[in-house]
Chain A
Amino acid sequence: MWLPALFLIIGLLLGFMTNMSIPAEDTNYLSIAVLAALDTLFGGVRAQLESKFDQKVFVSGFFFNVLLAGFLAFIGVQLGIDLYLAAIFAFGVRLFQNLSIIRRLIFRKYYMRKQAKKDDKS
C-alpha cells in the first residue's frame, strides 16, 4: 500500500524539482491525461479489492486511456468542437462510480473482518 504512495510522492517531487512546464495551449491535453490516469488507477484499486486485478489489463488500460483521451482532445481541437469535454465527462462519471464501489467494498471488508473477530471470540 505504501509503495504506490511513495512513488506518487517521488513523481511529484521529480516534477516540481525539474520545474518543467508545458505551453499553455497544451494544458488541456495534460489535464485530460491526468484524469484518464486517475480513472485507470482507481479502476485498478477496485479490481484489486474485487480480487480481479490483472496487471496486463491495468497497464494497457492506463496507456490506452491516456492516449485515447489525448487523441480525442486533439480531434476536438481540429474540428473546433470541445470533444475533450466528452472525455472529461466519461472519466469523471467513471471515477465517481469506481470510488463509490471502492467505498462499499472497503465497508464490506471491514464488516466481514469485524464479524470474523466476533465469531472467533464466541
Chain B
Amino acid sequence: MKTIFTKQHFTIGLVCLLIGFMIAILFNTNYQTTERDTRDTWEIRTALLEEQKVQQNLYTEIAEAENTLREYREQTEHQQIESLQNSIQQLREQAGLTEKQGQGLIIKLEPMFLDDDYQEYPEINAELLQLFINELSAAGATEMAIENQRITNITPIRDVNGNIYVNNTSIGDLPTEIYVLTNNSEEIVNHIEVSEIGDYFALENVTMSISKQSDIVLPEYDDLIDLQDVDIVDVPEEGES
C-alpha cells in the first residue's frame, strides 16, 4: 500500500465532506417530516365536543332563519312588513345601534397611588384596554360600553397623541368606567379576578374595582357603521391546509 494519507487526498476528502454535508442539509430541508397529531384520546374527544357544539349552534341558527322565512311566507303583506321591521329592529339591537338595559357590572379603572414616592399620574394604553375588552367578551359579557361609547363589533380602540380614542372619541384620563351587560356577573368577576389582566393594570399603576349592578343602561352607537374597509377573512376550508 502506498501513502494512504496524502495532502491531496485530504483536500478532496474535505470537499467531499462539504458536499455530503450540503446534500444532507438539502435533504433535511426538503423532506421534513410532517407534524404528527400527538393529541391523546381525551384531547380529541374535547375537540370533537367543541366542534359538535359549534354544529349545534349552526343548526339552531338555521332553524331560526327558516322560522323567519316561514313567517314571511305565511303572513299577509301588512304582517310581512311588521315582521321585517321586527327583524331590522333585532339586527339593530345586535349591532349595538339601540340603547340597552339590563343587569351587569360597572368596572372602574382608577389610578393607584403608592404612598411615599413621587409618582406620575398613571395612564393606560389602548392595547391594554383592548386586551381587557377581549378578556371580558371571552368571559361572557354580552354588551359593553367604555364611558359613553358603546362597543360594537368594529369599534376601534386606539392611541391618538397619548389619548385613548374609542369610536373616534377620546375617553379622557383616568378614572374610566366600563359598563358590562351580562347574565352571569359572578362568572365574569371570577374570570377577571384570576386572569392576569389585573397584574397588567397594576404595572401601569392602575387598579380596578368591580361593582355588580342590577340595572345598567348602555348608550347606543350613534355613528354610521362604516363597512368600507371591512373584508371577509379568507378562512381555509377544513382539511385544506
Contacts and interface: CB of A to CB of B under 8 A. Distances in A.
A21 B22 CA distance: 10
B22 A33 contact: yes
Given A14-B21, A34-B22, A7 B29 contact: no
Contacts of A20: 25, 28
Interface in B40-84: none
Contact of B21 (A11, A21, A24, A55): A11
A16 B12 contact: no
Given A3-B4, A4-B9, A34 B23 contact: yes
A12 interface: yes
Is the contact region of chain B dominated by helix, strand, or loop, or is it mixed?
A: helix
B22 A8 contact: no
A7 B13 contact: yes
Contacts of B174: none
Interface residues of A, number: 34
B26 A44 contact: no
Interface string B1-42: 000110111111111111111111111111010000000000
Given A21-B25, A34-B26, A8 B19 contact: yes
Contacts of A30: 22, 25-26, 29
Contacts of B7: 55
Contacts of B11: 55, 58-59
Contacts of A37: 15, 18-19, 22
B103 to A, nearest CB: 54
A7 B17 contact: yes
A31 B26 contact: yes
Interface string A49-72: 000010100110010000000000
Contacts of B13: 3-4, 6-7
Contacts of A53: 8
B28 A44 contact: no
Given A22-B25, A30-B25, A7 B32 contact: no
B224 to A, nearest CB: 44
B12 A58 contact: yes
A12 B12 contact: no
Interface string A10-31: 1111111001111010010011
B15 A12 contact: no
9 contacts: A7-B12, A8-B17, A14-B20, A15-B20, A20-B25, A27-B26, A34-B19, A41-B16, A41-B19
CB-based closest 6 A-B pairs? A15-B24, A11-B20, A7-B13, A11-B17, A8-B16, A12-B20
